[in-house]
Amino acid sequence: MDLLNTLVDKGLRRELPSREEALAVLATSDDELLDVVAAAGKVRRQWFGRRVKLNYLVNLKSGLCPEDCSYCSQRLGSKAEILKYTWLKPDEASKAAAAGVAGGAKRVCLVASGRGPTDRDVDRVSETIGAIKEQNEGVEVCACLGLLSDGQAERLRGAGADAYNHNLNTSEATYAGITKTHTYADRVDTVQKAHAAGLSACSGLIAGMGESDEDLVDVVYALRELDPDSVPVNFLIPFEGTPLAKEWNLTPQRCLRILAMVRFVCPDVEVRIAGGREVHLRSMQPLALHLANSIFLGDYLTSEGQAGKADLDMIADAGFEVEGAGQVTLPEHRAGGVCGSEAAACGSAADACGSAAEACGSGGACGSHAAPEPAEASEARTDLVAVRRRGAGTDLAPNA
């Protein structure tokens, strides 16, 4: 297929595809799916080999969020029966993180519900970062605390944070249909603050909220312009008790096409399969490893993931290897902070941490574009949505 040959060539040169080419990837048929995966897989292997980076989430503060993000189980007014607790103590968070590191994770993602941290919250998280790094030599720590005020990113960096996550989630045109309590511009500003402070920026999206192909391409192009080092791709987990509980718009095939499109647009960036992979990719998860080079190990913020051992077995059985603590995730031109040529995928203008897909829009009509055709809709698999009842905030052992 000429389209795929062109996209592979551009990906190997770190050139930006046209919007028409990105949209064409999403429009390919199921008969062409393996060709799409194979093509995007060539780009993935060029920049990341067969390595898979493991990340581990620690939910520092769960539920009771004042924001109204419609995809989120922790949102204002959520009736989802999730765990609710206030800040974990540094030793509790460090103990939870150690389980993930023992399971093979090289990055720990510290997430807290809320609009954004107070200065006291930054102090708490700074203490937690110190405790984790003291007990787990070489571990990367990413913070995901919401909207940042001036100076907070610098304080987190000074405390030892390596990265900051704040997802754009959806296109600018559709954002007001997802949340009313903050704006798309607020999110962009926080990613820029993290970047300016010297933190590795991590920002991604949520698919499956009723958005169109155009919306997906818009948000991925916006992410490329922001130039994050990692792009988490979340697939909406439709929690009962949230406004998007009835939104089952994804099939495994569509999820793979979305991941392939992200890889072509962001060829040398850490693409992470985040929340919802077990729910929507299901038995097709191993194929997704040919597109993404990073996953979360074990459970998510408020939902359960598949067993940590199953994650490790899947990686090995698919012929991939877990990235070691001593290995550098990003290609040399990115890891060294050099964007390279003007054609580089470092952004036309200028890590997940959070798995927001499980956690705050309107009843699914997320934008001005037309929703996907009914043939794309997936049967509601509510049996695959399990609320997390173990790990951080409980007395039960974590899944790692």
Residue 360 annotated in ligand binding: no
Residue 202 annotated in ligand binding: yes
Point out the catalytic residue in the list 107, 109, 224, 360.
109
Residue 255 annotated in ligand binding: no
Residue 17 burial (CB count, 10 A): 21
**Torsions phi, psi for 398 (to 5 deg):** -75, 165
Clarify whether 255 is annotated catalytic: no
Residue 13 annotated in ligand binding: no
Q: Supply the DSSP string of 362-375, one letter for each residue.
A: -SS--SSSPPPPGG
Q: Is 287 helix (H, G, I), strand (E, B) or coil?
A: helix
Clarify whether 334 is annotated catalytic: no
Point out the catalytic residue in the list 69, 144, 266, 360.
69
Asked if 58 contacts 108 with a C-beta cutoff of 8 angstroms, the reply is: yes
Helix (H) or strand (E) holding 231: strand 230-235
Residue 266 annotated in ligand binding: no
Q: How far apart are CA 393 and CA 398, in angstroms?
A: 10
Residue type, 170: T
Point out the catalytic residue in the list 124, 157, 224, 272.
272
Point out the catalytic residue in the list 14, 44, 187, 202.
202
Burial of 137 (0-12, 13-18, 19+ CB in 10 A): exposed
Clarify whether 65 is annotated catalytic: yes
Point out the catalytic residue in the list 14, 51, 65, 366.
65
Give the residue among 268, 291, 233 at the shortest CA–CA distance from 346: 268
Residue 366 annotated in ligand binding: no
Clarify whether 69 is annotated catalytic: yes
Point out the catalytic residue in the list 107, 124, 142, 334.
142
Point out the catalytic residue in the list 14, 51, 72, 366.
72
Residue 120 burial (CB count, 10 A): 9
Q: Supply the DSSP string of 254-266, one letter for each residue.
A: HHHHHHHHHHHHS
Clarify whether 360 is annotated catalytic: no
Q: Which residues are tagged catalytic?
A: 65, 69, 72, 109, 142, 202, 272
Binding residues for [4Fe-4S] cluster: 65, 69, 72
Mark the binding-site residues, compressed into ranges.
65, 69, 72, 109, 142, 202, 272
Q: Residues at the annotated binding site for [2Fe-2S] cluster?
A: 109, 142, 202, 272
